[in-house]
Amino acid sequence: MDNKQILPEEGAVFLIDKELTWTSFDVVKKIRNTLRIKKVGHAGTLDPLATGLLIVCAGRKTKEINLYQGLKKEYTGILEVGKTTPSFDLETEFDSEKEYRHLSNTIISAATHKFIGDILQVPPLFSAVKINGQRAYTVARQGKEATLEAKNVNVELFEITKTDLPLLHFRLVCSKGFYVRSLARDFGNELGTGAYLKALRREKIGDFSVANAMTIDGFVEKFKKS
């Protein structure tokens, strides 16, 4: 049986639990090749160093991608204070270190409150935002400087769920267009210690949960040619 016959005529939406180091496009390409159809797209990028829920639309369901992109997102992750990197995560090498042992739960909790509600956020230079038609990450990897405009975003919830200095485990619920790596930068600046995003997992997109997602290997196994 040809795999593309497996898809309903109206298309399909797949919940994928993206693995570490895979790009979102890697997942789309794998699904495209497995189903042997061209019309496949994802509804919200996950960085290669992040894991978790990726919504992938196939066939006629690709028309609904914008609907899913607009839904709020829920993440869990780990920030490490006292260190920074140019990319605000582990894609680049550490470029500074500061003392952090003076931080208390009271100081940390007070800082989180400043990042809840409607806020302005500057995207990371290591991102897909376009600068004069060129992706910002291309500019960054060339070692060039550039200024990105702040954007309005919303944070419904930002809480530290566990403190094990220098590591801070967190839970976050935010709007479309929010960059968790920028939160790491800004939160570190607020604490005066610097910080970077050590780990990130997307748990939910709207009412869709990673608990109901399949791995890419599981997807291939389910839809491979019999």
Q: How many CB atoms lie within 10 A of CB 39?
A: 15
In the numeric block, the tokens 């991102």 are attached to: 127
| Beta-bridge mates of residue 130 | 135
* 95 classed as catalytic: no
Tokens of 77: 């992750």
Out of 47, 89, 95, 217, which one is annotated catalytic?
A: 47
CB 32 within 8 A of CB 61: no
Hey, which residues are catalytic here? 47
